[in-house]
Amino acid sequence: MHTSTADAATSTEETSVERKGSLVVVGTGIKTTGQLTMETIAWIERADAVPYVVGDPIAEAVIQRLNPEGAVSMASYYEEGKSRMFAYNAMIEHILRDVRSGKKTVAAFYGHPGVFAYPSHESIKRLRNEGYSAKMLPGISSEDCLFADLGVDPAVGGCQSYEATDFMLNSINIDSSSQLVLWQIGTLGDWTYKRQMYDIRAMPLLVQKLSQVYPLAHLVTVYEAPMFPGTEPMIAKIPLYWLSDFPITAAMTLYVPSARSRTPDMQMLSMFSMNAPYAGGSTPNDTPSVQGS
Ligand SMILES: C[S@@+](CC[C@H](N)C(=O)[O-])C[C@H]1O[C@@H](n2cnc3c(N)ncnc32)[C@H](O)[C@@H]1O
């Protein structure tokens, strides 16, 4: 195929313009006014394009103020009653278009942009495959807020974390000695987008599944982190069997505390106490040694 010099020059020029585009994905936190990091603010301010999806008008106003020229909401991609996947794909295409057209793009998502956020990960993956610079900065997720507001630490007995529908529909080994966080209980079994209430009539099935491992009287917490300055978290501690009747919204997360203490692994414990040089109160400065050889 013959390519003229002019064509080649144009295509080289286009390629170099295209490659100037880049992507940084940032999170606005849950309470945007207090949870935007300095680094995220700086990236938003200097961007050519700031496509964003946030859950409240204050977060939207903050982004618009930080970058009035570049800020564009992607919320309009959600369509009532349509699969949320349509909206996610449209968001990915929007972000890719911005970057391919040579713009320094900063895509903002609420919470942590990489936690339960398919379009952010997928955009980065596709752009890197095309040779663009693309990265993500961490943000404050609703689970981070949950640990703070409920005063629980994932280190104590461990913490399992699942998307509620995925948890309900798959065979998952629940360890009731560990804590459990179930995301998206407010959209349980409903893949479509709804402006108001989702169809969560599958909730009794989730309760049934949980009751295989937890007593029905086990106290669980329905939690909603505060989004606005001066507001408090919503923390409802209810018995598991009440869950089906509780008015759960899309911005709520379920926390299930452990129901029993951990079972020591006796074999491992005895091997550990026999062999470990530091078992029995020695300090980390002790010289390591191997016994029994
Ligand atoms: C699509 S995910 C987005 C999560 C978000 N990227 C984050 O970092 O928290 C939506 C789910 O996050 C949780 N979530 C969002 N906002 C919340 C809030 N204010 N309080 C508690 N959980 C929330 C709920 O489980 C909700 O169904």
- What is the position in ligand 1's atom list of the atom closest to the CA of 109? 6
In the chain, alpha helices (H): 5-20, 32-35, 38-46, 57-66, 84-100, 118-129, 142-150, 164-169, 203-211, 266-275
- What is the position in ligand 1's atom list of the atom closest to the CA of 164? 25
Tell me the pLDDT tens digit for each residue of 18-63: 468 999 999 999 998 899 999 999 999 999 999 999 989 999 999 9
- What is the position in ligand 1's atom list of the atom closest to the CA of 250? 27
Give the model's pLDDT for residue 1: 38
**Residue of the CA atom closest to atom 23 of ligand 1:** 251
- What is the position in ligand 1's atom list of the atom closest to the CA of 139? 8
Distance CA 79, CA 279 (A): 59
Joined tokens for residue 54: 């946030």
Binding site membership of 67 for ligand 1 (Cβ less than 6 Å) = no
Ligand 1 pocket test target in 52, 74, 116, 121 with most atoms within 8 Å of CB: 116
Give the model's pLDDT for residue 14: 47
Task: Reply yes or no on whether 84 is catalytic.
Answer: yes
Separation of CA 114 and ligand 1 centre (Å):
12
Task: Reply yes or no on whether 126 is catalytic.
Answer: no
CATH class of 143-256: alpha beta
Whether 59 and 28 have beta carbons less than 8 Å apart is answered as yes
- Mean pLDDT in residue range 249-264: 95
* Greater pLDDT, 280 or 224: 224
Whether 87 and 144 have beta carbons less than 8 Å apart is answered as no
Q: Which residue intervals of the chain bear CATH 3.30.950.10?
A: 143-256
Nearest C-alpha neighbor of 161 from the set 151, 146, 150 = 146
pTM over 0.85: yes
Nearest C-alpha neighbor of 198 from the set 267, 152, 161, 251 = 251
Give the model's pLDDT for residue 66: 98
**Residue of the CA atom closest to atom 19 of ligand 1:** 225
Binding site membership of 120 for ligand 1 (Cβ less than 6 Å) = no
Instruction: Tell me the pLDDT of the chain averaged across its residues.
Output: 90
Distance CA 151, CA 36 (A): 22
- Tell me the CATH number of domain 19-140, given options 3.40.50.720, 3.30.300.30, 3.50.50.60, 3.40.1010.10: 3.40.1010.10
Tell me the pLDDT tens digit for each residue of 106-117: 999 999 999 999
SS3 24: strand
Separation of CA 94 and ligand 1 centre (Å):
23
Distance CA 60, CA 53 (A): 8
Give the model's pLDDT for residue 7: 46
**Residue of the CA atom closest to atom 16 of ligand 1:** 251
Distance CA 43, CA 23 (A): 10
**Residue of the CA atom closest to atom 14 of ligand 1:** 251
Q: Which residue intervals of the chain bear CATH 3.40.1010.10?
A: 19-140
- Mean pLDDT in residue range 68-88: 95
Separation of CA 248 and ligand 1 centre (Å):
13
Give the model's pLDDT for residue 49: 98
Give the model's pLDDT for residue 78: 94
Separation of CA 54 and ligand 1 centre (Å):
11
Separation of CA 119 and ligand 1 centre (Å):
15
Using pLDDT thresholds of 50, 70 and 90, give the confidence band for residue 202.
very high
Q: Which residue is it, tokens 């629940």?
A: 174
